[in-house]
């Protein structure tokens, strides 16, 4: 799972409708895809994704991961045109994969496990 996906996932448990984003992310194992295996760097795509990202949630999440990544406070219009910035974002959002870990809902504390890179968001019938 990549951070872009984490940035759009909310808790979907029945009745959990407020304060259910962003899920608290614990990454116990992660890797960077090599260039051959990752989607190509594409500034137009990253700019599109920038329109969608909840920047504060991304910053907050990255700061808890201890990856030594420091994101700027604001996502400004100039930054989105900046090649170096987009390259970094490509590394962070497209190449880096969380392989094992979990996500915890800040509201109801439901735990969603991540295994083999796949987040398990499947609810039990009584949670729907």
Partner 1 sequence: MNHRPEQLAPADVFYNEEEAKKYTMNSRMIEIQQEITERALEILAIPKHSPRLLLDIGCGSGISGQVLSEYDHCWVGLDISKAMLNVAADRDVDGDVIHADMGHGFGFRPGTFDGAVSISALQWLCSAEMKCQNPYKRLNKFFSSLYACLIKGARCAFQFYPSSPEQVEMITNSAMKNGFTGGLIVDYPNSQKAKKYYLFLMAGYSEEIMNEARQVIMPRAKTGDTDSEDDSDDDENDSDDDEKVDIKGRQKSKMIKKKEKYGASVKKFNNSNAKSKDKNWIMKKKDRQRKQGKSVCRDSKYSGRKRPMGFN
Residues that bind partner 1 (CB under 8 A): 1-2, 4-5, 7-12, 20-21, 31-40, 42, 44-45, 48-49, 52, 54, 94-95, 116-123, 125, 128
Longest dimension (CA), the chain: 48
From the list 1, 3, 7, 11, which residue makes contact with Zn ion (rule: CB under 5 A)? 11
The binder of 24, among partner 1, Zn ion, none, by C-beta within 5 to 8 A per type, is none
What phi, psi does 47 have (nearest 5°)? -65, -40
**Terminal Cα-to-Cα distance of the chain (whole angstroms):** 23
The binder of 45, among Zn ion, partner 1, none, by C-beta within 5 to 8 A per type, is partner 1
Nearest to 31 by CA among 114, 120, 103, 124: 114
């Amino acid at each position: 799972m990549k951070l872009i996906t984490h940035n759009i996932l909310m808790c979907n448990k029945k009745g959990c409708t407020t304060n259910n984003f962003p899920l608290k992310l614990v990454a116990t194992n992660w890797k960077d895809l090599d260039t051959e295996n990752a989607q190509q760097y594409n500034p137009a795509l990253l700019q599109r994704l920038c329109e969608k990202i909840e920047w504060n949630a991304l910053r907050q999440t990255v700061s808890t991961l201890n990856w030594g990544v420091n994101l700027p406070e604001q996502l400004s219009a100039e930054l989105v045109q900046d090649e170096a910035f987009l390259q970094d974002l490509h590394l962070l959002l497209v190449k880096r994969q969380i392989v094992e870990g979990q996500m915890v809902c800040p509201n109801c504390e439901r735990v969603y496990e991540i295994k083999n890179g796949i987040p398990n968001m499947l609810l039990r019938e009584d949670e729907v």
